[in-house]
Structure 1
């Protein structure tokens, strides 16, 4: 029979492994690991666009995200490239070609799929995919496919209106 101290250590280890599993899902362009939790819940809305440099729809529609960022400076906009570490040069080229000024990270489809399933019980469908988090860091929407700057703005305004306390 295991001692209670040993059982506690094992339980804490298992809990730590389970809670930190998504931590390696993202890294910045310098290969520094980043967690989703470090990106959201800072008192601001956060919009993430998952994209890939070889995605034709991403190339055709990412200007909407650029427009959204420019017209909504109070919202954190983050791009997540699915080119993986081996495709970082392609991701950087895409960022430069598209004139992306918002922060962009690197991941891969399997990591994004794990994250979406663990947080939203949804499977990753493809790029582009948008994730919208409220200022408290709660994932409110996962939207596969291209969306416009106006659609993003309208969604956030609607959420703000619905969640305002009555005067």
Structure 2
């Protein structure tokens, strides 16, 4: 009986070792590891768009993010491609095709899901998803689905209004 318990304990530890959380997959487009916290500007609003190169809605709506960036140069805009390291070529093609000039990083769906759950107690639903931080670096909104330039601008303007 003792031998069975020992085998079970060893099996449980071995099972846990096989399924440990991988190191962060988040990297910049030059394969340099990065963190979500480092993407958030302190002292400026930050809008993060989570996208994928094979997402039809991302392709149809990316122009809103581009327009927002042009109209709001004082806001940091960052793209998070869920194509991952293995889909880097697809992400680069998307960036080139749409002329994205804001920084983009590579991640994957499980990593963004873990990040959103940890920071906002929300699950990742799909792409595109917008994540908005105030100038103090506080997460204020997680919005799945396409968002227009006007909607992003209005949200930030409303948050910037002094409380009455």
Matched residue, 1:84? 84
Tell me by how many angstroms 1:64 deviates. 0.1
1:49-83: CA deviation from partner (whole Å, max 9, x where unpaired) = 00000000000000000000000000000000000
Q: After the TM superposition, which segments of 4 or more aligned residues of structure 1 sit over 6 Å from their partners?
A: none
TM-score by length of 2: 0.84
Alignment gaps of 5+ in structure 1:
1-20
2:47 partner SS: strand
Residues matched between the structures, number: 144
Alignment gaps of 5+ in structure 2:
1-20
TM-score by length of 1: 0.83
Q: Assess if the C-alpha contact under 8 Å between 2:84 and 2:106 holds in 1.
A: yes
Aligned runs of 1:108-123 on 2, under 5 Å? Answer: 108-123=108-123
Q: Assess if the C-alpha contact under 8 Å between 1:25 and 1:112 holds in 2.
A: no
Q: Indicate the RMSD between aligned Cα atoms, in angstroms.
A: 1.6
Matched residue, 1:27? 27
Larger of the two Rg values belongs to structure: 2
